[in-house]
Structure 1
């Protein structure tokens, strides 16, 4: 009987094995992968994979996501930004309102857009109440377990259906992984125009988000306020968040109107 790759003598160095583990994440670098699956992909024993993941975690290359692992900030910061030209224009239009939100709350605030079933953070301003957070400018996160993501999914039926059909990993004990429970929450968000992340992507982190509406009544982005559990009460920020998002929505409408006018002038010139 022939031996499997993990049963044979493995002459790879520790660095080689660590690199194999990092490459094994593939498309699951954000959503997370379990130790057993990573070990299988990297042709390592589970015990070796677990030991190396511990080393990589201590150095910021990976981080825990519930019972799984995902790439950490150190690795993600080396990659190219996910921002497109359109995202850059949206960031330029909405950053002044993100700054307004920060000035009114003094909390950490985010500007994000939806891409498929993930969110991309276009901007972030840090508040006075510092808290560890997986978000970074240009970075991505699953929409189903973030406040900005759920707000955007609530008004995007196609992306919501895709998210509900996909596997939702439990990043924390509070992550909503039941499709029906998420469907109910998205329906509530559509009525109230605010969404919450109550320690769903990271323990100790709470967040409230609201949509920035574009022409046609569909969100083009979302703004959020976040802070540490116990010190930050998301519900208390709903009124100021709605006001800033309303002003931001008017700005988006004005920019869209100017663009349409410029297009008409160009066509008749």
Structure 2
């Protein structure tokens, strides 16, 4: 049965999509607490957390106790922070594949960084978005909307276009959903977008010339799987005023080729692994 919110608990500035006044359940309130914690640097006391979440202090304290017992929140003295279980859950948001790719391809991402000393990304396609699986950057990293676990529309990113070019259904879905211009350089015209994907299929190289964010340029290539379809994409990104993306295309091609070989070999080893009769089958 829903726990009704008192007027003191009702958010004066409720987040978009929040329940209407009087309809906030205990689960809603717990999620508001977690979001408030997520937007806080470091730790925070219950009084301030209650104020930010527009809850009474007693309600916040009670719900924090429940979250703490489930490792979603940790207590540090009289303050609170997000718990380790959220990290474990977050690792599984997009399934096991991105986690395995990140682990298996990390050495190749490091190789790419050592060759370029620019920001490098590993991303996978999810619907018409890309999800950043890994990222390595140095001291001169350009400002970028990319971060591990973040999603961006595939049509305006280098890694996204590298993947859409070899996925006809996803490319059509992206075009049907619209191609809103994120910057003045975004390929928002469907005809130009389709021509760009055709060129990528031909050359195997994708570019983002300030299409996702002003001042950011990148070059990307797909990592092809044994099926002939890409399983992920790699990119090198830098500040537009000093970064010439085509310079890094040869290094990207080499690393993507080695990454694809490593994935194929790993899959072969997994398929060839003998069944261990001493180990009971998974439940």
TM-score, normalising length from structure 1? 0.69
Between the aligned partners of 2:159 and 2:237, the Cα distance in structure 1 is 11
Alignment partner of 2:143 out of 132, 148, 152: 132
Between the aligned partners of 1:93 and 1:218, the Cα distance in structure 2 is 18
Moved more, 79-88 or 98-107: 79-88
Q: CA RMSD in A?
A: 2.7
The reply to whether residue 85 of structure 1 matches residue 96 of structure 2 is yes
Alpha-carbon displacement from aligned partner over 1:155-208 (angstroms, at most 9, x marks no partner): 111111111111222110111111111111011101111100000010000000
Alignment partner of 1:217 out of 228, 241, 264: 228
Q: How does 1:58-97 map to 2 (within 5 A)?
A: 80=90, 82-97=93-108
The reply to whether residue 120 of structure 1 matches residue 131 of structure 2 is yes
Between the aligned partners of 2:227 and 2:178, the Cα distance in structure 1 is 31
Query: In terms of Rg, which structure is larger?
Result: 2
The reply to whether residue 167 of structure 1 matches residue 163 of structure 2 is no
Alignment partner of 1:176 out of 162, 165, 187: 187
Between the aligned partners of 1:246 and 1:80, the Cα distance in structure 2 is 29
Tell me, what secondary structure is at the counterpart of 1:16?
Answer: coil
Between the aligned partners of 1:80 and 1:90, the Cα distance in structure 2 is 16
1:131 is displaced (CA, Å) by 1.4
Residue 258 of structure 2 corresponds to which residue in structure 1?
A: 247
Residue 111 of structure 2 corresponds to which residue in structure 1?
A: 100
Residue 211 of structure 2 corresponds to which residue in structure 1?
A: 200
Note if contact 1:153-1:159 (Cα within 8 Å) is conserved in structure 2. yes
Unaligned residue ranges in structure 1 (runs of 5+) = 1-14, 25-59, 62-76
1:253 is displaced (CA, Å) by 0.9
1:141 is displaced (CA, Å) by 0.5
Residue 16 of structure 1 corresponds to which residue in structure 2?
A: 12
1:23 is displaced (CA, Å) by 3.6
Between the aligned partners of 1:250 and 1:259, the Cα distance in structure 2 is 14
Between the aligned partners of 2:144 and 2:126, the Cα distance in structure 1 is 20
Structure possessing the higher relative contact order (Cα contacts under 8 Å, 6 or more residues apart): 1
Residue 54 of structure 1 corresponds to which residue in structure 2?
A: none
Residue 36 of structure 2 corresponds to which residue in structure 1?
A: none
TM-score, normalising length from structure 2? 0.66
1:80 is displaced (CA, Å) by 4.2
